[in-house]
Amino acid sequence: MRCSESLFEDGATYGAERVRRMAAADPEEKDTAAAATSTPETFVYRAGYVHETIPLGLYTNEAAARAHCEATVSSEHPASVALLFDWIGEDDDPEEPRELIVRIGDEETTTGYTVTRLEVATAYDPDAEL
């Protein structure tokens, strides 16, 4: 039993009692209760290099992951070199990785650094796709 759960006289915890009440409730009320307690989708953004299996980092927002990639590319060039960054990828498909493009003078090239959105599971699902 978790410390935050309290016992009723019959030994049931608050959580168990809530489940018991939901099971006895009207089906429409159960749907409403399930929707109210369902966990929203959670995502992290993986900053990485295409030829490496270990990510640069995992972030809760895309901007931080992009900043990490841009800082890494910046550290690979002298401070006197002006770098202009852009990101390419399918805007209408959030599952597609975004790749960092760098322009140095008149030359634009891919860097191999990417940001990929990943869904974080809230529970183990043995039937989930790998």
pTM (two decimals): 0.66
Beta carbons of 102 and 92 less than 8 angstroms apart? no
Separation CA 47–CA 83 (nearest Å): 19
pLDDT in tens, 83-122: 999 999 988 888 899 999 999 999 999 999 999 999 998 8
Phi, psi of 69 (to 5 degrees): -60, -45
Q: With residue 85 as reference, give the H or E element that holds it.
A: strand 84-88
CA distance 88 to 82: 20
Give the model confidence (pLDDT) of 44-60 as tens digits.
Answer: 999 999 988 899 999 99
Cβ atoms of 71 and 49 closer than 8 Å: no
